[in-house]
A and B are shown apart, each in its own frame.
Chain A
């Protein structure tokens, strides 16, 4: 409609407007009203408001400490693997699915890459070896995700169970390979580059996670892959009837989530130079929380990458802020829980308002 500006002041404008034909030019006020309604209905608006409130409160409470580049870049750096996993999870949740395996696939990926590095030069491994190990790890993640997607799409196992199953398998394999002891054979070059390195003063962890967000945000919003993702989450039956291969698309979605968890696994391995086997059992819940806070509907069909991006940072900034103002940081969990509840409640209200409209 934004292109329909021609003939706005035409003499026949009144009659066409009254008939409500879609080709009629709309008045500025109606345009504004539509825009306002859209803005209020959009999932990102509310989460953005919540983010602003958090930033404002902590900025007032701790002037010159919270709203600093240093605080934000540190938060973004430690949050990077979570953000990457949340991107995959967004696609999954948009199809009305859920992926509980993400944190465990992250660990499995790190273990596979770490094991490869251990036998190929360990800490002195060269760039070629690092790439092979990383690709091996990420391929493992993607394949693992694809298997879960197969279980969901073809075996018709509910996503909750399929990925719960996958979670256990990924965790078990990780422990079997390592015997429960973290691998520390991480190449120095990996640590000094994407682990702790930076480009132009910006940490590689941030660069990678933001770049991946941009790329997959664009894929979600502008490509066929994204459109089919929304369509399947919205009405799988309708998607199938227009010829979309729903099962195959679901396999790809879960493979993507596995791939993202794999990338996060490599980032995590580089950052901590250890496989952190026991440190990711709650990642799945943190990631799902972020996606839902970001406005994605667990019923599928609604959500956005921008929402997820903000949703990831709300709990993290809460935690950082609480530390800075000297409040016991365990309040973070309580506040995050409340924000999550509010997000889902808002979603319900929006749904009701929309259906009445």
Chain B
């Protein structure tokens, strides 16, 4: 998997301050098409900040983000969206009073043009079409929703999760970030989300999974990147890593990576060497 020469998304030396707190301290990250990359780290390691910076929710103070090798700016979620990047946030970011179909299309409504396009400037929504596409999108994921027109607040936690995942999957053409997607779920629903992650990956999309659940990470991920104190401290091939190694890297017992001097050219070589050393 790692033989893909260029990562679709690559971050180098990202820093982010919140007041005096240094949330990202020269963080590197890369995600490849058709691969599940798990991003792990202890609480406060900077995972969420990194994801927010890569999905346009916040701006990094310094550092570079490259898409397909080209430097880009991520000033808003719209920038990320333009690059085919979608995010399933930990809090799901759903509007509870709107129904599942409305949430799926939120910010991307489908409009009627009317005869000769007279309705275009009014942005009249085509609610029937939006509903049909929502039904198709949920069915595509095998999500069971009795009624796509019921307000999201009336759904169970698992169903809400499904709505958020379906929304990301429906629009992501390149990358999906999933921030703790299984944290609130029961066993069956968790399996289904993991199945969905694999299914999305098999379409050639890069999936970035943030999780605390190490067995889950090893079960679904192809690669694992470990953050500690705002920078990447280790990378593993999931097939060659153990829970002990992951925990070791998260807690600082194991460091396989020089972070401060790394460039993207030497990074790949360093990984290969480190992976051998780690395994």
Contact = CB atoms under 8 A, between A and B. Distances in A.
A and B physically associate: yes
25 contacts: A3-B128, A20-B146, A22-B147, A23-B139, A222-B124, A223-B124, A225-B123, A227-B106, A230-B97, A231-B98, A233-B97, A234-B97, A235-B93, A235-B94, A237-B93, A238-B92, A238-B93, A238-B95, A239-B107, A240-B77, A241-B87, A242-B106, A243-B77, A301-B95, A357-B154
A354 interface: yes
A354 B139 contact: no
B83 interface: no
A243 B147 contact: no
Nearest to A242: B107
Contacts of B93: 235, 237-238, 241-242
Nearest to A24: B146
Interface of B: 57, 76-78, 81, 87, 89, 91-98, 102, 106-109, 111, 122-125, 127-128, 131-132, 135, 138-139, 143-149, 151, 153-154
A315 B171 CA distance: 48
Contacts of A355: 153-154
Q: Please list the 5 inter-chain residue pairs (A to B) with the smallest Cβ-Cβ separation, ordered nearest first.
A: A242-B107, A301-B97, A224-B123, A234-B95, A238-B93
A1 interface: yes
Given A222-B124, A225-B123, A354-B151, A241 B96 contact: no
Nearest to A34: B147
Contact of B106 (A3, A239, A301, A354): A239
B97 A302 contact: yes
Best-surrounded residue of A243, A244, A302 (most CB of chain B within 10 A):
A243
A243 B167 CA distance: 14
A151 to B, nearest CB: 24
A109 B63 CA distance: 53
Interface residues of A, number: 33
A1 B147 contact: yes
Contacts of A243: 76-78, 81, 107
Given A22-B135, A223-B124, A235-B93, 18 more contacts: A1-B148, A3-B128, A3-B132, A20-B146, A219-B122, A222-B127, A225-B123, A227-B98, A227-B102, A227-B106, A238-B94, A238-B106, A240-B77, A241-B77, A242-B77, A243-B107, A244-B107, A301-B96
A22 B122 contact: no
A239 B125 contact: no
Contact of B122 (A1, A223, A234, A240): A223
Nearest to B171: A242
